[in-house]
Amino acid sequence: MRLLLSKTNASITFASAISNFKEITKIRLAVSVVFSSLAGYLLGADTVDFKTLLLLAIGGYCMVGASNAYNQIIERDLDALMDRTKNRPVPAGKMSVNTAFVIASILTILGIVILYTINPQTAMFGAISIFLYTSVYTPLKTKTPLSVFVGAIPGAIPFMLGWVAATNDFGIEPGTLFALQFFWQFPHFWAIGWFLYDDYKKGGFFMLPTGKKDKATAVQVIMYTVWTIIISVIPVFGFTGQLYLTPIAGIIVFLLGLGMLYYAILLFKKMTAKSAKQLMLASVSYITLIQIVYVLDKFIR
């Protein structure tokens, strides 16, 4: 009987540890970031090396997981004030600060080492991403809405990182991928900041460009959506080196962009949390689908 209870408790403890690890590293966000990196790699690679692809996936997850863990350590007291974050492992008391820090440190070291085995530039950009997210973006979130601009830099690195991992080179191609994901983040995160405005306010976070849900914010959402669409179709015109889209793929990307723009305009018209959530979902669909289109277009043409 005691042995059975001991095994049951061990299973519960292990399951809890796995759950806490998934939460501290924000597994869904980390997987989406890894997806961007892999898409960038496939775009840049002349021949696909599956070992490099695996290293990029593991190293990328470690780097994103480390950034998220550091973020949750720094913001633990503020996270406890907000409904969406109060049950995270550290503020909820399910994981100690020391344990979270050990996890973050191990992930940082593993991530840098793994990415370095691909090439030094990949490791460098990964390290820059962690530093900016943890040491610059996170402290600025309670001080100025400009934090979103800073946070967009590490957030835009993964798509670019994949190309650098494939080529060991930074040029117009990864620069374009960086710009695309950089501008995309503004309508995406401002939509989140809009429908979670009251919850963010509890923690002292003001994520919207004007600090409030107003027409000026909605106009900026539309403006950055337009910029995202423009950048996403530039490869059709042959200005971006080896990064090229066929006209058919360009039309598909453009139409996807118009879909996202529709929801940005809807937010301007309705100014509701529902329309902001619809824009957020549209933005996630957009970035995922255009990365798939970019990759398929390369291998089909």
Q: What confidence category does residue 197 fall into, taking pLDDT thresholds of 50, 70 and 90?
A: confident
The two structure tokens encoding residue 124: 């460098």
Distances (CA, A) of 133 to 45, 215, 223, 231, 266: 28, 29, 25, 24, 31
Distance CA 139, CA 180 (A): 25
Distance CA 137, CA 292 (A): 29
pLDDT in tens, 115-147: 999 999 899 989 998 888 888 888 888 888 788
pLDDT at 11: 53
Residues 257 and 233 sit within 8 Å (Cβ to Cβ):
yes
The model's pTM: 0.87
CA dihedral 81, 206, 185, 131 (to 10 degrees): -70
Find the radius of gyration of the CA atoms of the chain. Answer: 20
pLDDT at 1: 54
pLDDT at 288: 94
What spatial distance separates the first Cα and last Cα of the chain, rounded to whole Å? 64
Residue 5 has pLDDT above 80, yes or no: no
pLDDT in tens, 234-289: 999 988 888 989 999 999 999 999 999 999 999 999 999 999 999 999 999 999 99
For the chain, the maximum distance between any two Cα atoms, rounded to a whole number of angstroms, is 72
Distance CA 9, CA 35 (A): 35
Task: Give pairs for 27-35: CB < 8 Å, separation 24+.
Answer: 29/64, 29/68, 30/60, 30/61, 30/64, 30/65, 30/68, 31/61, 32/284, 32/288, 33/60, 33/61, 33/64, 33/158, 34/60, 34/61, 34/64, 34/158, 35/288, 35/291
pLDDT at 4: 46
**Sign for the pseudo-dihedral over CA of 181, 172, 161, 242:** positive
Average pLDDT over residues 57-84: 88
